[in-house]
Structure 1
Amino acid sequence: MLIRRLAAEERLTTSFPLQAYAFEASPLTRERVEAFHRYLPYNKGNRTLVVEEDGETCAAASAVPMRQNLRGAVLPMAGVAGVATHPLARRKGHVRALLHQLLDEMRDGGHPLTALYPFRASFYEKFGYVGLPRARTVRFSPADLGPLLRAELPGTVTWERIGAGYDRFRSFTERCLRERHGFAIFPDFRDVGLRDRDDRWLLTATIDGSTVGALTYRIDDHGGELVGDDLLATDPYARALLLQFLARHVDQVERISLQVPADELPELWLTDLAVHVEARVARPGSSAPMARLLTVDALAGLPAGPGRVRVELVGDRWLAGTHLLDGATGHLELTSGGPAPTATLTAAGLSALAYGVLDPAEVDVRGLGDVGPDAAVELRRLFPRAHPHLFADF
C-alpha cells in the first residue's frame, strides 16, 4: 500500500471520480465528467492524498485549509472532505491510514483544528471528532411576514447577483468569522467559486454604513419556493430587514426555506408565523458536522471562567499527556503545579468541552471520559456551554 499526495491535474482521473461515485448520482454522465475541469481550479490549495495498490487508486481524502472561530480565537482549521474508497477496496483500513497521514500533515502545517461532515459519526468519533449542531431548515409562507411590511426599520437592503456582490458578501463572512463561535470559512481560492458560478441572488442589510446581514438564495419557479442558504444577521434589526424583503414575494412564491443556526428561534420572530423548523440527521446523506482539536495548544488564551482542573488525555494519536487547565485570569492557561481535581478525557471529550457542545456529565455518560463531580464543576467554569455555527458546507 502506497500513500501519496496528488498533483493538481491528477485529481481529474483519480480522486474526483472516486469521490463522485461515493457521493453523487452514478454512473457519471459525460457532462459531469466535463464539469470536473471547471471545478479543478477551486481545489488548487487542497491537500489530497490517495492510497494506491498495484498502481490503482483505492481511496482518497482531501483537506481544505480553512479558518474557524473557537470561542473568539480565529485559528487555522483543516476541513476534511471527499473521503472515499473504491467499492472493491472497502473495509481494509485504507481510510484509517489516509486520515492518520492527512491529519499528521495538516497538524504539522499549523492547523490546530479540524472539522468534517461524516459518512458515519461513530467512525469518526474513534478519531477524536465530536458532533456539532446541524443548521436548522426553516419553512414558512411569505404571507406570514406581512406585518414586517408595515415596520419602520433602521437601515437599507441591497439586492444583486452574487457575482456582482461577492466582495461585499465575503467581507461580511469575514466579520462573522471574527465574531461567531464555530464559524468557519473557505480559503479565497475555494470561495470564489460562489462568485464565478453566479447562480444565487445576494441580499445584504446595511445599518449606519455597515453590513449587518446577508442571505444568498434562488427561486425554483413561479408559485414555487424561494430557497435560501444561511440567514446571517448580527442582530434582530438585521434579520428583520432581510425578512421584510422576503415578505415582498407573497404573490411570487408559495413558501420560503432558509438555513439558520441551532440557537435561532424562528417561532418567536413574529406573532402568527406558522413555521416548520427541522434539523434532519440521517445516515447516509444528511449528517451533522463534527470537529476536534489536533493540539492542546489551541486552548491557550481562550476566554474561560475561573476553573482549574487537571486533565489526562488518553487513547489518541494527537492529544496525550496530563495538562493543568487554569482560567483564573479570565483566559485559559496551560500551567503546571498545584493541586486540582483530575478528569480523564478522550480527544472527543476534550473537543466537546472546547466547542461547548456537551456538559462534563454528558462527556462522562457517553464514555468520552471519566469526569468526577469535582472535576465537572471546574470544567463547567472553564468551558461554558455554547452553540457553534460551522456555516461552511464542505
Structure 2
Amino acid sequence: MQIRQVTAEERTDTMFPLQAYAFSPSPWADADREDYARRMRFYRTAVSLVAEEDGQALACVGAFPMRQNVRGVLHEMAGVASVSTHPSARRRGFVRELLTRLLHQMRDQGCTVSALYPFRPSFYGRFGFVGLPRFRTATFAPQGLSHLLSADLPGVVERVPMQAGFDDYDALTLRLLGQRHGFSVYDEVRTAEFRELPRWVAIARVDGEVVGAVTYRIDRFGGDLVAGDLLTTGPLGRALLLQYFARHVDQVGRVIVTIGADEVPELWGTDFPVLTQGRVDHPSHAGPMARLLSMEALTGTVTTADESITIEVVDDDFIAGCYQLTGEGGRLSVEPSKNAPQATVTCGGISGLAYGVLDPVEVMTRGFGQVEASAVGPLTALFPKRMPYLFADF
C-alpha cells in the first residue's frame, strides 16, 4: 500500500469513484462525474490523500483549510472530509493510515484544531475526536409568527439570488466567526463555490448594516420553505428574518430553518407551535466531532477564572504531555510543566473541556480520564460548559 497526495484535478480519477460509491446513489451517471470534475477548481487548497495498491486507489481522505473560533481564539482548522474506501479494502487499516498521515500534515501546515462529520463516532474517538452538538431544525407554519406582521421593526429585509447577495452573506459569516464559539468558515477558494448555489438569500439590514441573513429555497406552492442556517448578530436580526418568513403565510405550508443548539424556537412567540429536532443516527445523520492538535494554541482563550492547574494529556500523537493551565486577567495561558498532574485526560477529554461540551465529572464518567476532586472546581472554572455552533457543513 502506497499513500500519496493528489491534486484537485487528479481527484476525479482517484477519489470520485470511491466517494460516489460511499455517499451517493449508484451506479452513477457520466453527468455526476462531469459535475464533480467541474467543482474541483474549488478544491485547489484541499489536501487530498489516496491509498493505492498496484496503481488502484482503494481509499482516500481529504482536509479543507478552515478557521474556527474556540472560546474567542481563532484557530487554523483542518476540516476532514472525503473519507471513503473501496468495499474490497475495508477493515484493512487504510483509513487509519490515511487519517494519521493527514492530521500530521495539517498540523505541520499550522492547523491547531480539526473537525469532521463521522460515519461512526467511536472510530474517530480513537483518534482523539469528541462529539459536538448537531444543528437543529425548527419546523413551523408561517401563521405562527403572525404577531410579527404588525410589528414596526427598525430595519428591512432584501431578497436576492445567492450570487447577488454572496458578498454580504460572506461578510456576515466572517463577522460571526469572530463572535461565536465553535463557528467555522472555509478559505476563500472553497467558499467561492457557494456563490453559485441555486438559493435565495434574505439579508436583514438596520441603517445599512447587515444584522442577519439566511439562504433558502421554496419547493412548491403550498409546500415547504427550506432554509439554511439562521445567521444573526442578535435578537433584532432574528426578528427581521422571522417577520420575513411570516410574510409567506399564503404561499407555503411550512418553514424549515436550521438553528444552533443554543436557539430556543418555542420562545419566538406565544402559543407558537414549533417542532424542534436534532436528529442523530449513523452513518447518515451524525453530529460533528472535533479535537485539539495543539495545547499551546489554547493560550489566549477567554476565561473568567483566576485559577491554575496542572494536567497531563496521555495516549495522543499530537498533544501528549504535562501542561500548566493558568487563568489570569480574563485569558488562559498554557505552558509545559514538570509538576505532578492533578488530572490525567485523553485528547478527547481535554478537547471536550476546551470546546465546552464536557465538564470534569463527565470527562471521568465518559472514560476520558481521571480528575482529582481538588481539580474539578478549577477545571470547571477555566472551561465552563458552552455549546459550540459549528456552522460550516463539510
TM-score band w.r.t. shorter chain: over 0.9
Tell me whether 328-337 or 14-23 shows the greater mean CA deviation.
328-337
Offset from partner CA, 1:258-288 (integer Å, 9 cap, x none): 0000010000010011000000000110010
Deviation at 1:250, TM superposition (A): 0.7
Change over 3 Å in CA distance of 1:278–1:382 after alignment to 2: same
Deviation at 1:338, TM superposition (A): 9.4
- Matched with 2:226 is 227
- Matched with 1:358 is 358
Contact persistence 1:341–1:375 (CA under 8 A):
no
> Amino acid of the residue matched to residue 214 of structure 1?
A
For structure 1, which runs of at least 5 residues remain unmatched after alignment? none
- Matched with 1:282 is 281
- Matched with 1:369 is 369
Change over 3 Å in CA distance of 1:310–1:40 after alignment to 2: same
Deviation at 1:152, TM superposition (A): 1.2
> Amino acid of the residue matched to residue 368 of structure 1?
F
- Matched with 2:184 is 184
Give the Cα separation in 2 of the matches to 1:336 and 1:178: 28
Deviation at 1:7, TM superposition (A): 2.0
Give the Cα separation in 1 of the matches to 2:295 and 2:226: 40
- Matched with 2:200 is 201
> Amino acid of the residue matched to residue 256 of structure 2?
S
Offset from partner CA, 1:78-122 (integer Å, 9 cap, x none): 000010011000001100100111000000000001000000001
Deviation at 1:54, TM superposition (A): 1.2
- Matched with 1:92 is 92
Give the Cα separation in 2 of the matches to 1:341 and 1:8: 45
Give the Cα separation in 2 of the matches to 1:178 and 1:236: 18
Secondary structure, counterpart of 1:212 in structure 2: strand
Contact persistence 2:204–2:210 (CA under 8 A):
yes
Give the Cα separation in 2 of the matches to 1:210 and 1:129: 38
Change over 3 Å in CA distance of 1:55–1:291 after alignment to 2: same
> Amino acid of the residue matched to residue 15 of structure 1?
M
The two structures have a TM-score, normalised by structure 2, of 0.98
Query: Is 1:388 the equivalent of 2:373?
Result: no
Give the Cα separation in 1 of the matches to 2:18 and 2:48: 12
The two structures have a TM-score, normalised by structure 1, of 0.98
Contact persistence 1:143–1:247 (CA under 8 A):
yes
Contact persistence 1:308–1:341 (CA under 8 A):
no
Give the Cα separation in 1 of the matches to 2:337 and 2:55: 54
Secondary structure, counterpart of 2:324 in structure 1: strand
Deviation at 1:307, TM superposition (A): 2.0
Give the Cα separation in 2 of the matches to 1:256 and 1:313: 45
Offset from partner CA, 1:345-385 (integer Å, 9 cap, x none): 10010000000011110011000111122111110111111
Cα RMSD, aligned residues only: 1.2
Tell me whether 216-225 or 304-313 shows the greater mean CA deviation.
304-313
Say how many residue pairs are matched: 393
Deviation at 1:337, TM superposition (A): 6.6
Give the Cα separation in 2 of the matches to 1:22 and 1:339: 48
> Amino acid of the residue matched to residue 332 of structure 1?
L
- Matched with 2:266 is 267
- Matched with 1:150 is 150
Task: Kindly report which structure 2 residues correspond to 1:309-348, keeping only aligned pairs within 5 A, or say none.
Answer: 309-335=309-335, 342-348=342-348
Give the Cα separation in 1 of the matches to 2:325 and 2:182: 21
